[in-house]
Amino acid sequence: MNQFKIHPAIGCARIGNSDEFYLAPEQTGALPIECDEQGREIVDDKGLPVRVSQFKEAGNLGRIKRQAARFRIFVYDENQLDSDRELKIGDKFQFPLDTSTTGPQMVEGTVVDIEWTVHLANKKASWYAFSENDGMHGYGPEHPLRNPQVTQPDRRRQLIIDPGPRTVSGNDAQASFAQNNGNAYPQSFPPPDIQPYSIATLGEMMVNEDSEHHRRLIVLGGYGRSGYKGADGNTIPVISNYANNDGWYDDVSDGPVRAKIKYSYIHRYTDAQGKPVRKKKFSTADVNAPAWLLVGYPSYAPEIEDMITMDEAIYDLSVRHFAHDPAVYGVAPFDRQSNQPQTAEQWTVWRSDATYNPDYYPHFFRDIWPIFNRPQNYSFTYDFDPFGGGVPHNRGTGGNLDKAALSQPPKNGHDPNRQHREFIYAIMRKQGQENLYTVPDDLSAQYVSSFHNSASKPRLMPMLNGNNPISNTVTDKFLRMTDTQLFFLKQWKDGKFINECDEWDEGNTACDNPWADPPKSGTAIDRGVLGNVLGGAFCPGAEVGWIMLNPAIYSSAYRIHQAAYIAGGLSIPAPVASKDGSQADDIARGMEPGDLTKYMGLPWQADFHECTDQNINVTYEMWNDIYPGSTGDPVKQNTAYNIPWWPGHRPMVIQKASGGQYYWASGIPDNYAGGVQMVRDWVNLGFIKFEPNDGNPGYYQIERNDQALGPQLQPGQRTLGGEIKGESNNE
């Protein structure tokens, strides 16, 4: 029997303050897709999607277009792992039907419609206060709440922005997640007088159909509106923290995407006179694999990939916890037949016994090269100091990251690039090195003799912030790649990898990206969409945070475990819910609308404004441990360095095609008052886009609203890893 699955498994829409919109990219590092007013993609004469060239309304640099998420249903044969067959209106399938008169049976049905249901919500104001890595596995009863003065359960639920579920189909093709639209669901929205912007909707949704009768769902998020009203009734906006600001609301959201396939079938029976009768009837079948939608803030540099994408983070989790790719990770002989646990006991045994396959060969351009390709692109969004000259991420001939050399596997016992690969692998930060700044002292010097020279020890890479470089609990200063990425790198270091251009007989080992074609299958779309979502660091993160690394929130690889709706409204924190028996948060029950974004900064502009770089104390590995008996060196104890967060996600210093570097957010002060201004001025910031630029290709700023923000300022020499004079500022 056929199975039906919604793809992408996790979609991503983005807010904007315009009614105009485009479609989310479905490839990592790709531009969004142009579409018409119904969300149908526009293609060129080769049938390829036309990419966005402008992110704002024509003639209005203060109006950012929204990004819509597109969902489709794919048809799977029994036991099929992936599919490129999209469901069409008019398709015929065998459907299970169980009626009171006939009992269970299979009928041939013709697809006549799809009913899509989406439920978005924002739970931020009702949730616990964010506190770095605390709470990754649940909060204790004493953990502080946001808006702690609201302790009555019904009032606590009113802090949730919850318009209720919406359903669309071919017969009712549009719906809005708006306030007071006649829906019987018990909605909750912020007070209408919050300032500077009220919130009366979380977006809208629509259905379209293309020329081949594929009927698709388009979902748009909110308008980027954030507002404040204090417990005392004061509406003068105040921001005093990067993540937790009581009295605030914003209109990012998340929630489940479900579908029913409506089909017609012929009901055959014999009437009272004994004559055979054929009667056309209708029924519905639930789609087997529902999806989830994230609504985040704009992607200002969509072509510049994050050091770790959400796809890479979830792929790593899925490989190690859900037997997603047994050729990479599983039990010997690393085939699918040997890696199909079914019961809870079998899963426990599998997770205990599974390991990485020592004979797996990763693909260079898919699995390895993105890790090395990304850092150099950050020079267009951050002011790097290449540590004394040169270009440390040079991808050209003879450079540290020479693609032609690094992509060449050993041949016929000849491996001229082995030492180069070994050195790069040696300086990649491994498990357990999240709080180390430089290569550890006990590392073998077989690759580079300077490893034991403290004055010239290489810095570990990537040189980016980790999940918690801020507080003294559960410290996690620096970012490292996922376990699976590190495994791929080790295989590559040992010469166990595939150059796709050789493997596919392209005849050119330095070929351009062999994975450049748009994805066609469901799982490829899953990965492509999430390749444009931040996968770390999470403090708290961008679109979503570290909750995405918790296997308990998934029902299977890439699929969020969805909670069944319980009458009485969405859940609230347990300490308040216990007062009257209300539904408390419970990961084991599944995820509710708003459960993935509730951990994020409130409002989102506060954290986005501050996530530029962080002053990190690097004097001691365990800098947060206190030794009362040690006087130490008071100057040395305060050594700290500027380390960036996500240069590809939150630009700091950008370039213009006309020349020069400039502070991206010039005109917005670098303090808490600037956070309030960001609530208004995020719409005026520029986007970063690849431009050929007369032989000087790069990622340059476009569409900044200088009239609103003033002229951009050029920076002095602000350096990556530059030492900060005086005390560190880990707050």
Q: What single DSSP character describes residue 42?
A: P
Q: Would you say residue 61 lies in a domain?
A: no
Same domain, 636 and 500: no
Same domain, 483 and 628: no
Same domain, 509 and 624: no
Q: Are 514 and 498 in contact (CB under 8 A)?
A: no
pLDDT of 66 > 70? The answer is yes
Which strand (E) or helix (H) includes residue 253? strand 253-270
Look up residue 273 and give its two tokens: 């006179």
% of the chain residues with pLDDT over 90:
72
Cis peptide before 462 (omega within 30 of 0): yes
Q: Would you say residue 111 lies in a domain?
A: no
Residues 397-420 have pLDDT tens digits of: 667 788 989 999 999 999 999 999
Same domain, 357 and 462: yes
Look up residue 182 and give its two tokens: 């006649």
Confidence of residue 611 (pLDDT cuts 50, 70, 90): confident
4 CB-near residues (< 8 Å, 6+ apart): 73, 74, 75, 76, 87, 259, 261, 285, 287, 288, 289
- Which H, E and C letters describe 611-662, residue by residue? CCEEEEECCCCCCCCCCCCCCCCCCHHHCEEEEECCCCCCCCEEECCCCCEE
Q: Would you say residue 266 lies in a domain?
A: no
Q: Which amino acid is at 59?
A: G
Q: Which strands form 723-724's sheet, in the order they lie side by side?
A: 613-617, 640-644, 723-724
Same domain, 477 and 366: yes
Q: Which of 506, 530, 554 is the last residue of a domain?
A: 530
Q: Which residues pair with 280 in a beta bridge?
A: 266
Q: Are strands 291-296 and 10-14 parallel, antiparallel or unpaired?
A: parallel
Gap between the Cα atoms of 221 and 293, Å rounded:
10
Count how many domains the chain has.
2
Q: What is the dihedral of CA 678, 543, 53, 204, to 10 degrees?
A: -90
Parent domain of 373: 310-530
Query: Which of 10, 157, 115 is closest to 71 using CA atoms?
Result: 10
Please report the pLDDT score of residue 567 as a whole number: 75
Residues 146-181 have pLDDT tens digits of: 999 999 999 999 999 999 999 999 988 999 999 986
Number of H helices, E strands in the chain: 13, 29
Q: Which of 472, 505, 530 is the last residue of a domain?
A: 530
Q: Are strands 291-296 and 253-270 parallel, antiparallel or unpaired?
A: antiparallel
Gap between the Cα atoms of 641 and 375, Å rounded:
18
pLDDT of 191 > 50? The answer is yes
Query: Between 281 and 469, where is the model more confident?
Result: 281
Query: Which of 129, 119, 142 is closest to 599 using CA atoms?
Result: 129
Q: Would you say residue 704 lies in a domain?
A: yes
Q: Which of 486, 515, 530 is the last residue of a domain?
A: 530
Instruction: Please tell me the least confidently modeled range out of 126-130, 423-427, 439-443, 519-523.
Output: 439-443
Residues 625-654 have pLDDT tens digits of: 444 444 444 434 445 567 888 888 899 999
**576 phi, psi to nearest 5 deg:** -85, -40
Query: Between 476 and 64, where is the model more confident?
Result: 64
Block residue for tokens 């929130």: 553
Gap between the Cα atoms of 101 and 141, Å rounded:
52
Regarding pTM above 0.85, the answer is yes
